[in-house]
Amino acid sequence: MSKANIAIDFDPADFKQHESDTGSADYQIAVLTKRIKHLTEHMGTHKKDFASRRGLLTMVAQRRKLLDYLKGQSEERYAELIKGLGLRR
């Protein structure tokens, strides 16, 4: 699945702040979550794919940073996003 297919499968309208939003923390976290879920499935069948593992860990770290940033900016948006994405945090 390429990046283009991920964008097609993902419904960004739920997390966008406005129609042309691509840079808000909410939207970036939602897209990263979608990509992380896809790579996690990939790693289940390709256990020795270390390049993808490194990319997965990088995405998880980036999402963690964005979540911390969002929590500092707005507790309400943070809680809504966590609930909407089903993250354990």
DSSP string, 9-33: HS-GGGT-SSTT--SSHHHHHHHHH
The model carries a pTM of 0.82
The structural domains of the chain, ordered by start, are 25-85 (1.10.287.10)
Cα 80–chain centre separation: 14
33: which residues sit within 8 A by CB, 6+ positions away? 63, 85, 87
Beta carbons of 87 and 17 less than 8 angstroms apart: no
- State pLDDT tens for residues 8-48: 345 756 788 888 888 999 999 999 998 999 999 999 999 99
Angle at 44 between CA 43 and CA 50, to 5 degrees: 30
